[in-house]
Chain A
Amino acid sequence: MSTTLKAYAVRLFPQVAALAVILLMVSIAFPGFFKLEMQNGRLYGSLIDILNRGAPVALLAIGMTVVIATKGIDLSVGAVMAICGAVAAAAITSGHSLAMTLLITLGTGILCGLWNGILVAVLDIQPIIATLVLMVAGRGIAQLITEGAILTFNDAGLIFIGSGALFGLPMPVVIWLAFGLLVALLVRRTALGMLIEALGVNRRASMLSGVSTGVLLIAAYVLSGLCAALAGIIAAADIRGADANNAGLWLELDAILAVVVGGTSLLGGRFSIAASLIGALIIQSVNTGILLSGFPPEFNLIIKAAIIVLILVIQSPRAQSAFVFLSRARAPVKKTAGEAK
Chain B
Amino acid sequence: MKFKIALASATILAASMFSTASAADLTIGFSQIGSESGWRAAETTLTKQQAEKRGIDLKFADAQQKQENQIKALRSFIAQDVDAILIAPVVATGWDEVLQEAKDAEIPVILLDRTVDASKDLYLTAVTSDLVHEGNVAGKWLVDTVAGKPCNVVELQGTTGSSPAIDRKKGFEEALAGKDNLKIIRSQTGDFTRTKGKEVMESFLKAEDGGKNICALYAHNDDMAVGAIQAIKEAGLKPGTDILVVSIDAVPDIFQAMAAGEANATVELTPNMAGPALDALDAFLKDGKEPPKWIQTESKLYTQADDPQKVYEEKKGLGY
- Which residues from B are CB-within-8-Å of A30? 207
Q: With A149-B38, A152-B253 as given contacts, are A246 and B193 in contact (CB-CB < 8 Å)?
A: yes
- Are B234 and A163 neighbours in the complex by a CB distance under 8 Å? yes
Which residue of A has the minimal Cβ distance to B234? Answer: A163
Q: List 22 A-B contacts (CB under 8 A).
A: A30-B207, A44-B235, A45-B206, A46-B206, A53-B199, A143-B35, A147-B41, A147-B319, A148-B35, A149-B41, A149-B319, A150-B253, A235-B195, A238-B195, A239-B230, A240-B230, A243-B194, A291-B203, A292-B206, A294-B186, A297-B187, A297-B189
- Report whether A288 and B203 are in contact in the complex, using a CB–CB cutoff of 8 Å: yes
Cross-chain contact of A291 among B37, B193, B199 (Cβ < 8 A): B199
User: Any chain A CB within 8 A of the CB of B19?
Assistant: no
Question: In the complex, which residue of chain A has the Cβ closest to the Cβ of B161?
Answer: A298
Q: Which residues of B in the span 1-52 have a Cβ within 8 Å of any Cβ on A?
A: 35-38, 40-41
Asked if B188 lies at the interface with its beta carbon under 8 angstroms from chain A, I say: yes
A40 to B40, CA, bound (A): 40
Tell me whether B195 and A297 are in contact (CB under 8 A): no
Decide if A39 is an interface residue (CB 8 Å cutoff).
Answer: yes
Q: How far is the CA of A291 from the CA of B253 in the complex (A)?
A: 26
Per-position binary interface string of chain A over residues 12-41, scored 1 when its CB falls under 8 Å from any chain B CB and 0 otherwise: 000000000000000000101000000110
In the assembled complex, A241 has its CB within 8 A of some CB on chain B: yes
Pair B223/A150 contact, Cβ less than 8 Å: yes
Who on chain A is nearest to B206 by CB?
Answer: A46
Contact B160 A300 (CB under 8 A): yes
CA distance A245 to B192 in the complex (A): 11
Closest A residue to B199 by CB, please name it: A53
Using a CB-CB cutoff of 8 Å, which residues 219-241 of chain B contact chain A? 223, 226-227, 230, 234-236
Q: Name A's B-contacting residues (CB within 8 A).
A: 30, 32, 39-40, 44-46, 49, 53, 143, 147-150, 152, 163, 235, 238-241, 243, 245-247, 287-288, 291-292, 294, 296-298, 300
Contact B191–A246 (Cβ < 8 Å): yes
Chain A residues, Cβ within 8 Å of B199:
49, 53, 287, 291
User: For window 27-80 of chain B, which residues contact chain A by CB distance below 8 Å?
Assistant: 35-38, 40-41
A contact residues around B202 at 8 Å (CB): 49, 53
Decide if B193 touches A296 in the complex (CB within 8 Å).
no
With A53-B199, A163-B230, A238-B198 known as contacts, the answer to whether A294 contacts B193 (CB < 8 A) is: no
The reply to whether A247 and B195 form a contact with Cβ atoms under 8 Å apart is yes
| With contact pairs A49-B206, A300-B160 given, residues A291 and B188 touching in the complex (Cβ less than 8 Å) | yes
A-B CB contacts (within 8 Å), total count: 81
A148 touches B203 (CB 8 A): no
* From B40, B41, B203, B226, contact of A49 by CB (8 A): B203
A298 and B195 alpha carbons, distance in the complex (Å): 19
Q: Which residue, of B157, B160, B199, B319, has the highest number of chain A Cβ atoms within 10 A?
A: B199
Chain B proximity of A232: nearest CB distance (Å) = 12
Interface residues on B, range: 35 or more
B200 at the interface (CB under 8 A from A): yes
Per-residue interface assignment for chain B, residues 148 to 174, with 1 indicating a CB less than 8 Å from any chain A CB and 0 otherwise: 000000000100110000000000000
Give Cα A291 to B203, complex, Å. Answer: 6
CB of A40 to closest CB in B, whole Å: 7
Given contacts A148-B41, A246-B193, contact A298 B160 (CB under 8 A): yes
- Report B236 CB to chain A, min CB distance, Å: 6
- The docked-state distance in angstroms from the alpha carbon of A30 to that of B38 is 38
Mark each residue of chain B from 176 to 198: 1 if its CB lies under 8 Å from any CB of chain A, else 0: 00000000001111010111001
CA distance A74 to B207 in the complex (A): 36
CB-based contact B207/A294 at 8 Å: yes
Instruction: State the 6 A-B residue pairs at the shortest beta-carbon distance, nearest first.
Output: A291-B203, A297-B189, A239-B194, A148-B35, A246-B193, A149-B38
- The smallest C-beta distance from B89 to any residue of chain A, in angstroms, reads 20
Q: A287-B199, A288-B203, A300-B160 are in contact. List 15 more A-B contacts (CB 8 A).
A: A32-B206, A32-B207, A49-B199, A149-B319, A149-B320, A150-B223, A163-B234, A235-B195, A239-B195, A239-B226, A239-B230, A291-B207, A292-B203, A292-B207, A298-B161
State how many angstroms separate the Cβ of B63 from the closest Cβ of chain A.
14
Q: Which residues of A contact B230 (CB under 8 A)?
A: 163, 239-240
Which of A39, A150, A298, A300 counts the most chain B CB atoms within 10 A?
A150
A321 to B178, CA, bound (A): 59
Which residues of chain B have C-beta atoms less than 8 A from A49's C-beta?
199, 202-203, 206
CB nearest neighbor in A for B188: A297
Given A238-B198, A240-B230, the answer on whether A297 and B160 have CB atoms closer than 8 Å is yes
* Complex contacts, B41 vs chain A, CB 8 Å: 147-149
